[in-house]
Amino acid sequence: MIEIGKTNKLEVIREAELGVYLEGGKYGGIFLPKSDVPENCKKGDIIEVFVYLDSDDYVIASRIKPLVQVDQFATLTVAEVNDTGAFLDWGLPKQLLVPYAEQRKTLEAGQRITVRVYLDNTDRIAASTKLDKFLKNDSSDLKMGDEVQLFVVRKNDLGFSVIVNDLYWAVLHAKDVFKTVRPGHKRKGYIKRLLDHDKIDVMLEKPGYAKVDELCQQILDDLEDRGGQSALGDKSKPEDIYQQFGISKKSYKMALGTLKKLGRIEISKTGVSLIED
């Protein structure tokens, strides 16, 4: 089934001078412009495309993937405002509309705002800043320790307001933040507590892992950036350690020892390896 506002894998059914047509089910042939057609594309090929409505309300396809799809949240920039509403830059030539009726406050060009993307009753893709109406209150399908996807919405007095699995509000407490977190970020997380009145606390670390200090987290982040492997081990030169982390070799070795005890890394003659969760 074709899903407007989302990525679909569609079969090429016909070649044309200006592009190709893809199998669109009830929508018929969906046009993919020539500039978007892969090299040596032919009838029968399967292409991954984003499907949406153009300015004339025709269903068309693009191989450009926007910054957000239908049923997702994102933080985007307001490109312009006119009598119809606010228009957001989301990576496609046709900008994303936030109708005035879907604005909690009047928007202005240049603002960064968090929205939920949805289909209106005519299958047009639109966005809303009224986030609450897209979220659930009943969190009975969650349990402590579940791995979840977090979308960071805003800072609050406790830490950050986040959305879990695009469905629930939750709180990420400042004391549980050991890496950079900003509004608009997407992070893997875990359910820490399920409180009364369907309130949820989440954390970034897998439950059961001891908290690590700032230096240990820097080492873990560096390993992740390097694909899980680093030649900078406990036998490395002090100057190499200082150049990378700005610390003494003694401090670095102590941090490595802590991470090894926690089961986060392995230390060998060739360096340090990250142990995946």
Label residues 217-234 b or e (16+ Cβ within 10 Å = b).
bbbbeebeeeeeebebbb
Residue-by-residue DSSP string for 169-196: EEEEEGGG--S---TT-EEEEEEEEE-G
Q: What is the pTM for the complete model shown?
A: 0.71
pLDDT of residue 247: 82
Bridge partner residues of 62 (DSSP): 50
Q: Specify the fold of 73-132.
A: OB fold (Dihydrolipoamide Acetyltransferase, E2P) (2.40.50)
263 compared with 91, residue with greater pLDDT: 91
Q: Specify the fold of 147-203.
A: OB fold (Dihydrolipoamide Acetyltransferase, E2P) (2.40.50)
Does residue 8 have a pLDDT over 80? yes
What pLDDT, in 10s, does the model give residues 26-85? 999 999 999 999 999 999 999 999 999 988 889 999 999 999 999 999 999 999 999 999
Report how far Cα 94 is from the mean position of its chain's Cα atoms: 22
Torsion angle of the four alpha carbons 240, 246, 251, 257, in this order, in degrees rounded to the nearest 10? -70
What is the longest distance spanned by two Cα atoms in the chain? 68
Q: Which of 97-111, 201-215, 226-240 ranks highest by mean pLDDT?
A: 97-111
Q: Which of 58-62, 128-132, 204-208, 264-268 has the lowest mean pLDDT?
A: 204-208
Cβ(274)–Cβ(221) under 8 Å? Answer: no
Cβ-based neighbours of 6, under 8 Å, separated by 6 or more: 50, 51, 69, 70, 71
Query: Could you tell me which CATH class the domain 214-274 is placed in?
Result: mainly alpha
* Cα 11 to Cα 54, 105, 146, distances in angstroms: 20, 43, 37
Does residue 212 have a pLDDT over 70? no
CATH architecture of 7-62: Beta Barrel (2.40)
| Average pLDDT over every residue of 136-153 | 92
C-alpha–C-alpha distance, residues 59 and 4, integer Å: 8
Give ranges for CATH 2.40.50.140 in the chain: 7-62, 73-132, 147-203
Give ranges for CATH 1.10.10.10 in the chain: 214-274
What is the percentage of the chain residues whose pLDDT exceeds 90? 70
Q: Is the torsion defined by CA of 215, 221, 225, 229 positive or negative?
A: positive
pLDDT of residue 186: 94
- For residue 277, name the pLDDT band (cuts at 50, 70, 90): low
Does residue 211 have a pLDDT over 90? no
* Cα 16 to Cα 27, 64, 193, distances in angstroms: 18, 20, 56
Cβ(253)–Cβ(216) under 8 Å? Answer: no
What pLDDT, in 10s, does the model give residues 236-265? 999 999 898 888 888 889 889 888 888 889
CA angle 80, 182, 252 (to 5 degrees): 145
Cβ(180)–Cβ(152) under 8 Å? Answer: no
- For residue 156, name the pLDDT band (cuts at 50, 70, 90): very high
What tokens does 194 get? 């399920």
Residue type, 177: V
C-alpha–C-alpha distance, residues 176 and 193, integer Å: 13
Indicate the SS3 state at residue 143: coil
CA neighbours closer than 13 Å in the CB half-sphere of residue 237: 3
| Average pLDDT over every residue of 190-209 | 83
- For residue 210, name the pLDDT band (cuts at 50, 70, 90): very low
